[in-house]
Amino acid sequence: MKKRFCVVLIAAIFFWGPVAKTALPEENKKDLAYHGADAIFQVEGIAIFWAILKGDDDEHSLVFINIVSTGKTPSAFRKFSLQAMDPFSKEKKWVFTDKVFEKNNLIKLNRASFRNMMERRFFFYMKNEPALDSSPDMTVYYMSIPDTAPEFLDESSLLSYFKGAMVRLAK
């Protein structure tokens, strides 16, 4: 009797496992959140490049962020949003929401904007729904401007750096 009970129990566990995994898809959804610590960061078919266009001071310097789809096919992401956050007070502010995700996405931010709200969170969405109405499919967050972000004195050199970095990343 015990032997038969064990066989039935093992069979139930064996067959219930795959059924449970398919019956509850929301529980199996991966939480894709990445810490993008470097000035060049690649994950899930996108690459994020950071560089600084140096001015006389922070008020006159710009932070360039280039987000590029790295796949041969169009990216699965349709929209993205950017949020700034103060790490101490946890105050949040949208830099922009619901921007259409294209092959190349160049963002220019004033470097002084990182003074109090230094964290940046990029939210990527696979659907065309408004960002504020749905949870992101992927998040990439930075604690501040990456220390490895190079500084340039002219915009043409900075943009050339982005092109060269993309070529090196593709190798």
CATH number for 145: 2.60.40
The H or E element spanning position 19 is helix 2-23
Condensed to tens digits (0 to 9), the pLDDT of residues 22-75 reads: 333 334 446 799 999 899 999 999 999 999 999 999 999 999 999 999 988 888
Same domain, 14 and 94: no
Q: How far is CA 66 from CA 16, 21, 33, 75, 134, in A?
A: 46, 38, 19, 15, 24
pLDDT at 5 over 50: no
Query: Minimum mean pLDDT among 72-76, 113-117, 147-151: which range?
Result: 72-76
Same domain, 20 and 97: no
The whole-chain average pLDDT of the chain stands at 85
The pLDDT > 70 percentage for the chain reads 81
The amino acid sitting at 114 is: F
Residue 52: give the domain boundaries: 31-170
Q: Looking at the whole model, is its pTM more than 0.85?
A: no
Same domain, 35 and 110: yes
CB atoms within 10 A of CB 66: 22
Same domain, 165 and 105: yes
